[in-house]
Amino acid sequence: MSTAPSADQPVTVVTGANSGIGRATALHLASVGHHVVGTVRSLDKADKLLAKADEAGVHVDLVVADVADDASVTAGFEEILSRAGRVDHLVNNAGVGGNGVVEETSSQDYLDVMNVNLCGVTRCTQAVLPQMRERGSGTIVNITSVAGRIAALAQAPYVASKWALEGLSELLAQEVAPFGIRVAIIEPGVTQSSIFAKNVDLPNHTGAYDAQYRRMFQFYAAGMVGATPALEVGKVIEHAITTDEPRLRYPVSWAGVEMAGLHDRIDDADWIGLGTIVDDADYNARFAEIFGVDIST
């Protein structure tokens, strides 16, 4: 059942709201007074979101919009604007993972992940910008990843999409600044989310990249021990929307703060040298020296 926002109530759209960071963010923003519209690919999969909203005593409107499909996004945001009248804040959260070393990743794999993680963001952003420009205000929040700053091993499609989204977000921030619209990039490290349970592909078609895949899974295995609750990301998103001292990037979650800001300060030789280390224990030790993150388990 949809409700109409009050005149002074911010209208915030959260894409991919049925699980993980999206669900936690939708519930949190609703709890602090936002009129939240969550987009989902299917209403049938939103039972847990609705149950948690009931438990928390908050309301989240639901609209079907598959960010991977032009027509679905167009129809979904037309419905949102018809119901709510405006969108003050857009949280581009919907995304997918993607494992594979460069040699073993097909063009279609790249295209599939890019279609969600990059093109999905542009579809939704294009749907809300005209009315934000007209009002002279608004916030676009793009969820990238620590893998959008550091080239996470054996995740070529995911890394490519998140690096692309980082660049697009920088570009967008400058383009829309004259219209009073802000852009915030949220860079999570390892967060409690269903994306990791789904991200178990081990292509390894050639058999030549055992160490690379093993070390990728090692990183996430270590991270899941101390994974940050998704609610913490939701709180950072709220801060990015409401702060009087905005900035472009907000690293968050396990390893996010430590790693996201290091890319430009890591010596290229140190980065490449990691790949030449044969022993996993030596690799983990050197990783900790460079990034300050313990990935041994």
Query: Known catalytic residues?
Result: 158
- Measuring CA to CA, which residue among 72, 149, 65, 162 is closest to residue 110? 162
| C-alpha dihedral sign at 5, 11, 14, 19 | negative
Write a three-state SS string for 88-134.
Answer: CEEEECCCCCCCECHHHCCHHHHHHHHHHHCHHHHHHHHHHHHHHHH
Instruction: Return d(Cα 157, Cα 272) in angstroms, integer.
Output: 20
Instruction: Return d(Cα 88, Cα 34) in angstroms, integer.
Output: 10
Tokens representing residue 244 in the block: 């009087």
Q: 7-10 — which CB contacts under 8 Å span 24+ positions?
A: 9/33, 9/34, 9/35, 10/34, 10/35, 10/88, 10/89, 10/241
Instruction: Return d(Cα 160, Cα 22) in angstroms, integer.
Output: 22
- Measuring CA to CA, which residue among 117, 205, 128 is closest to residue 167? 117
Q: Answer whether 277's CB lies under 8 Å from 289's CB.
A: no
Strand ranges (DSSP E) for the chain? Answer: 11-14, 35-40, 60-64, 89-92, 138-143, 181-188, 249-252
Q: Answer whether 101's CB lies under 8 Å from 275's CB.
A: no
